[in-house]
Amino acid sequence: MKKFVDEMNVNLMILPLTLDQAGSLEDYLTEVISLPRDEEEFVVVLGVDEMSEGIDGYPMRGFSWLSYGRYNKAPFSDKEKIEIEELLLDFGRQWLRNNDFEILESIH
């Protein structure tokens, strides 16, 4: 089935990634989040080069885009969105650490 970016997905703007980095992050998040949750769910990570055209006509240069959705386009509940965002942030940070990105933790 074809992956897509849509407003009903959980969408996050993230730091700029090359196409190779975006593919690596997408593969990692698919393995650790999508497949364990539900085979009908997917992750799309668009690198900066893919974003030059923008999404829905809006240019997004300077950021990459992460989108988590369902193939059947069923919407996520508010509770599910929060759960998925937490998983994406936690595993996304892990991927960054594993790929030699420096992470600055916020001070609370």
**pLDDT tens-digit profile of 56-105?**
555 556 789 999 999 999 999 999 999 999 999 999 999 998 998 776 66
Cβ atoms 76, 45 nearer than 8 A:
no
CATH class, range 10-98: alpha beta
Residues 6 or more apart whose Cβ sits within 8 Å of residue 30: 42, 43
Please state the pTM of the whole predicted model.
Answer: 0.82
pLDDT at 52 over 90: no
Q: Which two structure tokens, joined as six digits, stand for 6?
A: 């849509």
